[in-house]
Structure 1
Amino acid sequence: MCLAIPTRLIEIRPGAQALVDLGGIRKEISIALVPEAAVGDYVIVHVGHAIGLIDPEEAERSLRMFGELAAQEAS
């Protein structure tokens, strides 16, 4: 089983790299597999690579669910 996280792309960098933001955490990832990605898009990230684009509403829904799971775990 693998887990891919939706994150918002905030900056395109040289060499098929990009900066994403997930709840204030920023990380550089590869966008070589999703060259059409643009700033503001949500991408699915798995082990440092964007593997696809995701609809913003679906991304927000997924992120809310991850947040709810984390809150339950903390309880």
Structure 2
Amino acid sequence: MCLGVPMQVVSVDGTDAVAEIDGVRRDASLMLLDEEVKVGDYVIVHAGFAISKLDEAEALETLAIMRDIFDPEDMA
């Protein structure tokens, strides 16, 4: 199963970005997006590519749902 994860952009260099969530940083290409992405924006990262830009409220809601679903304590 593959997931796209909402992450916050912490740096941008041309079409390359670094995005972070919960202290985990990943490189992400911005080549697939047709809109400007700046530091602080949220993007969905999948397989090393930012595939969608989303607003902060939507990103935080999605992350809350994902954390609830994938809570390791619930899987024990």
TM-score range, shorter chain: 0.7 to 0.9
**Where do 5+ consecutive residues of structure 2 fail to align?**
none
**Where do 5+ consecutive residues of structure 1 fail to align?**
none
* Aligned counterparts of 2:68 and 2:48: Cα–Cα separation in 1: 24
Equivalenced residues, count: 73
User: Secondary structure in 2 aligned to 1:26?
Assistant: strand
Identity value in percent: 34
In the TM superposition, 1:1-75 aligns within 5 A as 2-14=2-14, 16-34=15-33, 36-71=36-71, 72-73=74-75, 75=76
The runs of at least 4 consecutive aligned structure 1 residues that moved more than 2 Å come to none
**TM-score (ref. length: structure 2):** 0.84
* Aligned counterparts of 1:32 and 1:54: Cα–Cα separation in 2: 16
Q: C-alpha root-mean-square deviation of aligned residues, in Å?
A: 1.6
**TM-score (ref. length: structure 1):** 0.85
